[in-house]
Amino acid sequence: MRTMSLLSKNLLRKGVSRGRFRSLFAISSNIREKTDNDGDPKRIHSVAVADNITLSRRRIQSNPSSSSVRRFSSSQHSASSSIERATAPIDYDPSQRWKAVPPANAVHLSIGAVYVYSMWTPSFTTALGVVSCAPADWTHSEVLPVFSTAAVTLGFTTSFLGSWVERVGPRKAGTVGSLFWGSALTTTAIGVHFHSLPVLYLGYGLLGGIGWGLMYLAPITTVMKWFPDRRGLATGIALSAFGAGAAIAPGIIQTIVDYFAVAPEFIGTLADFAHGENLSAANTHVELITLPDGSQVIANSSPVGEPGRPVIVATELDVSKLPNVTRGPGVYALGTGDTGVSKALGSLGLAYGALGLLGSRFMMVPHPQWSLAPLDAKDRGEGVGKNADIRINENNNFGLPASYVTTNTLQFPLLWLSVFGNATGGLALLSSSKLMITDIWTGVAPSLVTTSFATGYVSALGIGMAVGRFGWSALSDYIGRKNTYALFGVGIPIMGFAPTLCHSAVASSGTGDSVLPLVMTFYGGSVLAITFYGGIFSVLPAYIADLFGQKHAGAIHGKALTAWAASAVAGPMGLAYLRSNSVESATQELLRTVENVDAFHNTFGCSASDTEAIRTLIDAKTITIGRLMELVPPGTIDPTPFLYDSTCYVAAGLMGVSALANLSIQPLDVKKTLKDLKATGMGKSQPPQKNSN
């Protein structure tokens, strides 16, 4: 200290301000603390301080009046110029730290739209047919895994580029992420335009996942650094903006899609063979023939339309989902019209990319030696040095090694299961929410569950996710993390009871106001359940710190997020598999219900007993539940609302497993375990890991 006192007087005589001297002193102290732990304290400390002061003297002598004494020396920080520009002064007023929040939130508002993938899936599956699925259109089983691909890419990005984000700073990381995200949407637009599934996966899946990872990581780590005293609040603020992005996006997407959408050419209606109508009775209906590949074209004998022209048949239910189609059910020319999705994706790629770039430009991190303590306290020696570091380091540098936690504790696999089960159901709902709400309720209450209603439902889920991320994390500070996770078990009856609501609505044969309570119960239950999904991730970092200590919580968190990656695959792909099985079972059941074999032959061009031809027609999407419902006897129940029964039951079961796993988690004596590890030589110090979520 005597040496430092002499050096300080010398520097002050040379014209260095007290504020700049504090910066130099903080750097030198930081180097001293690090070397005291890792090397020879006397030798390295002396060299570090001497080098730092010598460098400062040279700068002062060359230009004493300039601001050449940096906020922190690049010789001690191997950061790029990007992170230097993004670093606030060491004496930054703590009351102004809230200014760091809006830019970070702008980045999250942009990338939050990744969660509303369900707004795109219905149009992806009708990209060619527009009003209904064409033979060459993608199936739900083909497009739902795109979201899973993006989620897995996110995991790899945060794992392999997390240290890079810390090194280059939030501005550069956010900028690169925004470029990837904007490119992802425009590449997806190209994939839809040229109907290339690999390009779709490349865009939304690969490029989108990289952008998602970078734009998700940089704002969270930035905001948490500004709020070391309230990390739970900081995480909630950052993640609620991410949820807000998901809440705002559906309305924007639907508006732009409707603007660019073009209705296909309407050719005419089909004869109602099921009710005895035939072509000879009226010359105003379109006559179709079925080709060997299962597709349909206008017959040569058709009184309406151009013979041989490929067509798509839209049912009344199909048309009810498309507000821009006003001609009603019937035959439409294949290859005409436009869903508007490709142009909407391109436009949003530019808009969201620009928003991300704008937010990234103004993101800011605190100086490495910045503290919430006022500067006058530092000058008096209060709140700094060993006494202050004990309090801070006990929070940040105390905990079990990640390698030990993941391989030698029972708490970690139980926590992993708690995350996996709850997240799987949430991701299944988020990835297909618009499709699900329309499949289940449009046929029951078409006047109520319109396209705008479905869009509002997706937005409500985004709001629920934002509220859950902020609300549950804040509540966990009062009731505890384990108790908060236990409350997520309320999702079990919500998911398990959902099919009962659907069956009750169908059995009542009511529409509109009569089924409104059932629809809104489903609506509200879904939003409540999705708040649990949001809460899982905002509470998880604190839960990990409570169980295993804060020091290596970032590394442990990264390991725990493999549960989310697994759920990102199991949720959307599991739903696609279960829904596909339900569609197949329902189709076969309706085929057995058809009684008018002549009407079936006139409609599809084959016998109802020709299983091989029927399979070809099903694969070509010519035989669908909607078209079969036009041929079955009156009073036959449409099975479409029941396509998600198995998904709901499986999700409820997984949530039950999560609830049991959470209840089985017991507290761990971290201090005692650390002593035991040190005694056996396993508790060597590891460098603290940054939180990746």
Angle at which helices 101-111 and 341-361 cross, to 10°: 160
**How many Cβ atoms from other residues are within 10 Å of residue 320's Cβ?**
20
pLDDT computed for residue 192 by the predictor:
97
Residues in CB range of 637: below 8 A, 6 or more apart: 506
Nearest residue to 442 via CA among 496, 348, 506, 485: 506
Mean pLDDT of 282-287: 76
Q: Alpha-carbon distance 400 to 380, whole Å?
A: 35
Tell me the pLDDT tens digit for each residue of 14-28. Answer: 444 444 444 444 444
- For residues 195 and 189, give the distance between their C-alpha atoms in angstroms, rounded to a whole number: 9
Greater confidence (381 vs 272) lies with 272
Distance of alpha carbon 458 from alpha carbon 434, whole angstroms: 6
Rg of the chain over all Cα atoms, to the nearest angstrom? 31
pLDDT band at 95 (very low <50, low <70, confident <90, very high): confident
> Mean pLDDT across the stretch 68-77?
38
Q: Between these two residues, 502 and 231, which has the higher pLDDT value? A: 502
User: How many whole angstroms separate alpha carbon 111 and alpha carbon 102?
Assistant: 14
Q: Same domain, yes or no, for 129 and 210?
A: yes
AA letter at 503: H
- Residue 276: predicted pLDDT: 57
Q: What single letter denotes the amino acid at residue 186?
A: T
> What's the confidence (pLDDT) of residue 512?
59
Instruction: Report whether 650 contacts 499 (CB < 8 A).
Output: no
pLDDT at 174 over 80: yes
Residue 24 placed within a domain? yes
HSE, side-chain direction, 13 A CA sphere, residue 649: 9
Distance separating alpha carbons of residues 177 and 620, to the nearest angstrom: 39
Q: How many Å apart are CA 238 and CA 469, to the nearest integer? A: 9
User: Does residue 183 sit within a domain?
Assistant: yes
pLDDT at 111: 93
Distance CA 221, CA 234 (A): 9
Cβ of 331: how many Cβ atoms within 10 Å? 26
Q: Which residues contact 677 (CB under 8 A, 6 or more apart)?
A: 400, 401, 404, 683
Alpha-carbon distance of 102 to 241, in angstroms, equals: 9
CA–centroid distance for 445 within its chain: 30
Cβ of 50: how many Cβ atoms within 10 Å? 13
Tell me: do 54 and 107 sit in the same domain.
Answer: no
- Residues 290-340: tens digit of each pLDDT: 999 999 999 998 999 999 999 999 998 888 888 776 688 999 999 999 999
Say if 383 falls within a structural domain. Answer: no
The verdict on residue 681 lying in a domain is yes
Q: How many CB atoms lie within 10 A of CB 491?
A: 27
* pLDDT band of 278, cuts 50, 70, 90: low
94: three-class secondary structure by DSSP: helix
Residue 429 covered by a domain? yes
Of the given ranges (50-54, 142-146, 389-393, 677-681), which has the lowest mean pLDDT? 389-393
Least confident of 114-128, 535-549, 587-601: 535-549
Residue 1 identity: M
**% the chain with pLDDT above 90:** 48
Structure tokens at 521: 């119960």
What is the per-residue pLDDT for 219?
86
SS (H, E, C) 72-84: CCCCCCCCCHHHH
Question: Rounded to 5 degrees, what are φ and ψ at 260?
Answer: -90, -15
Contact indicator for 359, 104 with CB cutoff of 8 Å: yes
Of 320, 346, 367, the one marking the end of a domain is: 367
Domain shared by 350 and 458, yes or no: no
- Kindly state whether residues 322 and 467 are assigned to the same domain: no
SS3 of 522, please? Answer: helix
Neighbours of 649 (CB within 10 A): 15
Mean pLDDT over residues 200-209, rounded?
96
Q: Is 516 exposed, middle or buried (0-12, 13-18, 19+ CB in 10 A)?
A: middle
Helix axes 140-168, 553-560, angle to 10 degrees: 170
Closest CA to 500 of 638, 625, 644, 635: 644
Same domain for 635 and 648? no
| pLDDT confidence tier of residue 392, bands split at 50, 70 and 90 | very low
Pairing between strand 285-286 and 266-270?
Answer: parallel
Token representation of residue 688: 């603290």
Tens digit of pLDDT for each residue in 393-452? 334 456 788 888 888 889 999 999 999 999 999 999 998 999 999 999 988 888 888 889
pLDDT at 161: 82
More confident residue, 633 or 397: 633
- Sign, Cα dihedral of 335, 338, 343, 344: negative
At residue 88 the predicted structure's pLDDT band, cuts being 50, 70 and 90, is confident
Q: Is residue 67 over pLDDT 60?
A: no
pLDDT at 417: 95
Residue 592: closest CA among 622, 633, 626: 633
Q: Which pLDDT belongs to residue 435? A: 92
Say whether pLDDT at 355 is over 50. Answer: yes
Asked if residue 439 lies in contact with residue 124, where contact means CB atoms within 8 angstroms, the answer is no
Domain stop point among 367, 385, 417: 367
DSSP 118: G
Q: What confidence tier does 96 reach under pLDDT thresholds 50, 70, 90? A: confident
How far apart are the C-alpha atoms of 640 and 587, rounded to whole Å? 10
CATH number at residue 115: 1.20.1250.20
Res 283: pLDDT: 63
In this prediction, residue 377 carries a pLDDT of 37
For the cut 90, the answer to whether the pLDDT of residue 669 exceeds it is: no
Does residue 436 share a domain with residue 318? no
Predicted local confidence at residue 26, as pLDDT: 46
User: Which span out of 41-55, 77-91, 366-380 was modeled with the highest average pLDDT?
Assistant: 77-91
* pLDDT value for 441: 92
CA angle at residue 128 from 123 to 133, to 5 degrees?
A: 70
Helix or strand (DSSP H, E) at 290:
strand 288-290
Boundary-marking domain end, from 69, 96, 124: 69
Neighbour order of strands in the sheet with 266-270: 285-286, 266-270, 330-333, 311-314
Q: Are residues 635 and 657 in the same domain?
A: no
Query: Do the beta carbons of residue 84 and residue 195 sit within 8 Å?
Result: no
Please, are residues 418 and 662 in contact by the beta-carbon 8 Å criterion? yes
Spell out the residues 6+ positions from residue 293 whose beta carbon is closer than 8 angstroms to its own. Answer: 135, 616, 620
CB atoms within 10 A of CB 379: 11
Q: What mean pLDDT is predicted for residues 364-386?
A: 57
Tens-digit pLDDT profile for residues 130-157? 999 999 999 999 999 999 999 889 888 8
Rounded to an integer, the average pLDDT of 655-662 is 96
Dihedral angle sign, alpha carbons of residues 166, 543, 407, 668: positive
Structure tokens at 4: 């430092």
- Looking at the fold, whether 324 and 460 belong to one and the same domain comes out as no
Per-residue model confidence (pLDDT) at position 402: 82
How many helices (DSSP H) and strands (DSSP E) are in the chain? Answer: 28, 6
Query: What's the pLDDT score for residue 313?
Result: 94
For 416-467, the DSSP string reads HHHHHHHHHHHHHHHHHHHHHHHHHHTTT-TTTS-HHHHHHHHHHHHHHHHH
Mean pLDDT, to the nearest integer, of 80-91? 73
| Same domain assignment for residues 164 and 233 | yes
Q: How many domains does the chain have?
A: 5
pLDDT computed for residue 510 by the predictor = 61
Whole-angstrom Cα distance, residue 637 to residue 507? 9
- Answer yes or no: do 100 and 162 share one domain: yes
Query: What is the arithmetic mean of pLDDT over 32-38?
Result: 43
685 contacts 428 by C-beta, under 8 angstroms: no
Q: Are residues 95 and 181 in the same domain?
A: yes
Strand 311-314 relative to strand 330-333, pairing? antiparallel
Residue 668 lies in a domain: yes
Q: How many residues does the chain have?
A: 693
Of the two residues 230 and 408, the one the predictor is more confident about is: 408
Do residues 419 and 560 lie in contact, with contact meaning Cβ atoms separated by under 8 Å?
A: yes
Residue 559 lies in domain:
398-571+641-693
Query: Among candidates 126, 104, 238, 117, which has minimal Cα distance to 171?
Result: 104
Shared domain check, 406 and 531: yes
Give Cα 3 distance to the centre of its chain. 54
Nearest to 604 by CA among 333, 328, 295: 295
Confidence of residue 469 (pLDDT cuts 50, 70, 90): confident
- Looking at residue 249, its pLDDT comes to 94
Average pLDDT, the chain: 81
Residue 447 CB coordination number (10 Å) = 11
Residue 197 included in any domain: yes
Q: How much is the pLDDT for 35?
A: 42
> Kind of pairing, strands 296-298 and 288-290?
antiparallel
In a domain, 461, yes or no: yes
The three-state DSSP-derived secondary structure of 43-75 is HHHHHHHHHHHHHHHHHHHHCCCCCCCCCCCCC
pLDDT value at residue 395:
44
